[in-house]
Chains A and B, each alone.
Chain A
Amino acid sequence: MAQGKATKHIRTVSEGSMKAGLGAGGCKECQASCQSACKTSCTVGNQVCRQRGN
């Protein structure tokens, strides 16, 4: 859940993870995106990070 000042007009669904990802990133152990399901369109954002054990 979001931490910080409460907001009335903005409700945080997710704080996002890309900043954290920079620190742990770059190991290249994740699956190649076309090896999972698509084979015809690249969507890297829905790959799973092995480092985080997701």
Chain B
Amino acid sequence: MSKDANWHVFSALGRPLLLDVKTGGLHELDAVARDVALAYGEPRTEIIRRLGPVHTVQAVAEAIEEFDGMVAEGRLSRPDTPDEPYMPQGEVLVKALCLHVAHDCNLRCRYCFGNTGTFGMTRELMPERVARAAIDFLLGRSGARRNLNVDFFGGEPLLNFDVVRSTVEYGRKRAEAQGKRIEFTITTNAALLDGDVAEFLDENDMLVVLSLDGRREVHDRMRVAQGGGGTYDLVAPRVTKFIANRSPDSYFVRATYTRANLDFASDVLHLADLGCRSISAEPVVGGRDSWYGIRMEDLGVIEREYERLARLFVQRHARGQGFSFYHFNVDLDGGPCLARRLSGCGAGVDYLAVAPSGGLYPCHQFVGRPEFLMGDVFNGGIDPELVARFRNTHVYTKKGCAECWARFICSGGCHANAYASSGDILAPDPVACAIQKKRIECALAVQAILTDRRREALAQEAHMLPSNAVTQGKGA
């Protein structure tokens, strides 16, 4: 196992950092410690011989001792330690469904991975009886899990709003009767997001993902109406009105970037300027051979753009104009447990997608591929071979992941992206991997900066308190 797989030394936003992959610990290094970290594991005399003339023998010896001490204290993992053996265990339970309530769409986005909403199937809406059967299926297959998720997806789910509404009501009632809770989310293009819909989404505490690509010309180039013509002027006012009174943790405004806007940081800032406080921007799926698809040769530009975005992000925060960017939300002191990180996205195991007819697929991106049809919501059974195949697709079976420093944060990446790029869910898309790794490095650097600022603010606050305030506060 290479050392980088356990100690990842990198620089982002001008900060040399060490990610201790096994613990998730993050450490900022000075120039000496950076070079020593890269050489750590070689004989001490060799490190001193090589780096002494660059940094002074004393400084190099100090840095080695600091690393030795942290390893001895258990604050850093040993860089040569192999991972524990991993075998997926336990009962297979379902915790989340993506309901394709509409295989139809009122837009004709040029980059749609769902073939303008049909996913290669017929243009149809999910009947209420299928949606209810899906809820019953989820509750019946969820075992002891209390917190379940259902996402309304399409196509455009608001084309089937009556079924969305009745399914939420039905799901709430059924879940409550079983002592469970279903969190409902919806992914919409916002074209039909009027006052009535908004009121329903608000009343039911639904997390809403709204598609808006950023600057008008960027959005209008790809997200066009059925009759042609851009949809920015239709959608942007609806999005901004909808989110105006919502808390940032109850929505995401989600942009897709393509080869045509590799300066996507400007789109993220545009969304922030519109008042969006929770933003996500993702590279377009598929289209690798088309004019808009992301190519290997674009990676250098994209990596620099994430650095630019990260710098702008922390600048905005410093000015009191902060916002949340989905891919920078790495919680250094919390986040999911190792078991969750190893099991990956859960597609095909605890997360399934339901086609309008009730057919079950490993996730929304596999819908319409007959070789991935896993069963249906009426019979309750799921193809055990497909479940086993997806369950055994994790960082220790996917090509290259076990040796990758990002394995516990990306968790092996998107199986559908892997399949789309290589025809094999075990062979990750190298373009997606490169983007993922750069995003994580930027996220870690952003978190390092924000952590520093929080500590400085706390220190300042403590300094400004009258000397007896701390004592008084302790009793409170």
Contacts and interface: CB of A to CB of B under 8 A. Distances in A.
Which of B151, B346, B409, B443 has the largest number of chain A CB atoms within 10 A? Answer: B346
Contacts of A16: 20, 23-26, 332-333
B29 A10 contact: yes
Nearest to A23: B337
Interface string A19-54: 101101111111111111111111111111111101
Contact of A4 (B73, B149, B252, B330): B73
A18 B417 CA distance: 27
Contacts of B258: none
A44 B410 contact: yes
Contact of A18 (B30, B209, B338, B346): B338
B417 to A, nearest CB: 7
B110 interface: no
B326 A37 contact: yes
B120 interface: no
A44 B282 CA distance: 15
Contact of B329 (A3, A46, A52): A46
B409 A45 contact: yes
B32 interface: yes
Contacts of B410: 42-45
Given A37-B254, A37-B326, A9 B341 contact: no
A39 B436 contact: no
Contacts of B28: 10-13
A39 B154 CA distance: 11
Instruction: Give chain A's interface residue range (CB within 8 Å of chain B).
Output: 35 or more
Q: Is the interface of A mostly helix, strand, loop or mixed?
A: loop
Given A4-B75, A19-B23, A41 B66 contact: no
Contacts of B207: 36
Contact of B149 (A1, A18, A31, A44): A31
Chain B interface residue bracket vs A: 35 or more
Contacts of B452: 13
Given A36-B185, A37-B280, A44-B411, A18 B22 contact: yes
B10 interface: no
A32 to B, nearest CB: 4
B283 interface: yes
B347 interface: yes
Contacts of A17: 23-24, 331-335
A8 B25 CA distance: 17
A26 B144 CA distance: 13
B49 interface: no
A9 B62 contact: yes
A36 B278 CA distance: 11
A17 B145 CA distance: 23
A28 B145 contact: yes
B344 A42 contact: yes
Contacts of B448: 13
Interface in B405-427: 408-415, 417
Given A37-B326, A42-B344, 8 more contacts: A9-B59, A15-B75, A16-B25, A17-B335, A21-B336, A21-B337, A47-B336, A50-B147
Interface of A: 1-5, 7-19, 21-22, 24-52, 54
Nearest 9 CB-CB pairs, A to B?
A: A25-B337, A45-B409, A16-B25, A16-B24, A16-B23, A21-B337, A14-B332, A32-B96, A44-B411
